[in-house]
Amino acid sequence: MFGTRLLSGIVLVIIVTVMNICGGVVMDLILLAASIIGLTEFYSAVSVGTEKKKNCFELIGILGTVLYYAAGFISYLVRTDFGDMPRVSDSVVSMNDLMAVIVFVLLCMMGAYVFLFPKYEGKTVMKAFFGFVYVTVMLHFTFMTRVLYHGEYLVWLIFIVSWVCDTSAYCVGMLFGKHKLAPVLSPKKTIEGAVGGVAGSAIVSCLFAFLLLNKGYIDENLIWLFAILGIVGAVASQIGDLAASAFKRNYNIKDYGTLIPGHGGIIDRLDSVIVSAPMIYFLAQLLGRLR
């Protein structure tokens, strides 16, 4: 089991590395595939559809995901000079374009609910739209982070923060954990572990920044930015992990899927990334303006 999990982890690291190095259309397509698979996993987990074939809300969510990524990538192409990257505080993806897609998806789901009434209940619409925002919109912030100034390093920070926090929290919790963090939801997680996860992420983020500084990729003013992003991202990643666990508890499932041997589904592996990505994106923009 450990060997399978380790091998899957290595493959995931390779995919993330290739995705981040290539950026652009390669990254967009990989994240699009991950979002569609993750959204399908979520819809199955929360019982959006009761039929063996996909219902209209699942189809709207999937098609909306394709449209959302297409809109983001087209906006990126239109608003960049094909190589001239903006400052860290600037976005080359129009939030207005993306918001228009979000509203359009909501209207489509509401229309399906109205015209097919009473075939579907209102909670089906709410779960379907929440899934679209939770998986598609949140994960897309990884691409939006990549096209920021120094975005290739900030994307690494998203994954470093999420995965280092998880490992640090586990190790510290095993060694020093005494006080339960969420005793009903996750009895094994402790407050000491959570603090250790945040501390571990902050330390590794600073080490990552110093490494980039020594290589001449960033200036020293960004070290404090990476430290703050490491702390906030770690807190967000733990919330994401617990939220994903809460959904599984509510719907009595062990894993969201079986795509990744030893890990489960896309959401099981990226639950922390899904939440930390938008936090790092927005905080990088905010702190970038204060530099």
pLDDT one-digit tens code per residue, 40-52: 999 999 888 655 5
pLDDT class of 290 with cuts at 50, 70, 90: very low
Closest CA to 278 of 80, 125, 145: 145
User: What average pLDDT does this structure show over 75-91?
Assistant: 59
User: What average pLDDT does this structure show over 45-71?
Assistant: 86
pLDDT higher than threshold 70 for residue 88: no
pLDDT higher than threshold 50 for residue 83: no
Pairing label, strands 180-182, 186-190: antiparallel
Closest CA to 273 of 7, 5, 12, 1: 12
pTM of the model: 0.90
Percentage with pLDDT > 70 across the chain = 91
Tokens matching residue 142? 């990884």
